Chain A
């Protein structure tokens, strides 16, 4: 990637007071909770001591169940049937978040489906990107290029667990189980 001619604007922390501004009704419901193929994606955001982060905000962006990338407006005022692929959820006082969505299909043959996630928090000076892979056999996980490029002990930080009723995915901002956070071509330090 060549250097961009325009220097990028720096990010800053979301701060403590976004709660009245950014979260909105049904932001976390990419599909209505009652829908037959709805699945919950739930978990906690934790700091370097394992303490819950009660002022984090997560956004997810994903393909639909068929792996199709939709380009539909309407995420801020959901009409109850259009799947927009995007949602936003703040953590509660115990650091927990919850989305209701569908399991994304693979957008490319032979590749594992994942949900793209952005993490914001008070105390976090710039957003972080990560991926939430759906559970898969170890051999399949080891064949996915991103996961294969990670030390085996860190691979699991990007894979949700399925307990039959929900997908579980914790975000560890720091520590032994620190989530793998991503940077993409064009991103500068």
Chain B
């Protein structure tokens, strides 16, 4: 693997670590199986790309894309809390609705960003190559997101949100408005995913209607890989594990696709993902099995 592909994998890994943090909030903290991300990721991309291509400042466009993601999460939460639709189904409804919404926003299946300014090109100094600068900026963004989440989930409100996912009945008995917590958590989760989509569109030369396919699996893969590499229940370690998981996952994908002797091609990506997730799910169980036998 060349340095270029290595940095490329690192860059995409960082972007997907934002998705993974979002998925961690919904799946692990709220225990809400949320597939909205397959729609809110391209939503972020579509909003950012469309706004930038019509002359909006890329930073403003990125912020608007993040808010759009939050709104998508809010609606999924609302379908579940107010209309009492099962969580998984509510998120699937939102996901397919977003497919049409994204097409409407873009007005066509894709919006290229080739010559337009992006948050990366605006900050680009002459002395650093763009493929080095992008990962550097993304490290800052991801670390900021990680520390903000660590802080939020140790506040009174954040703790109430975690309690809602862990034991909603107890949370209510302590006076927590659990419905509101689910809405807030879903908004937060999908805001991160929307932000990731906006950054992805700006690094990959535009938004495409199919860019969201499998986002949830990649996000979940990152969470699972991270948890098996760094098993911990402490929140600040869990968030770092999730970020590391996303990066490691992208490295493995890049490795698999760039090793000629394996003979894998880009279209095998989803298969590789499925195999990696399976391995990550099985390894901790095998480890338990073996250590259990040793103990006897």
- Whether chains A and B associate is no
Residues on B close to A: CB < 8 A? none
Residues on A close to B: CB < 8 A? none
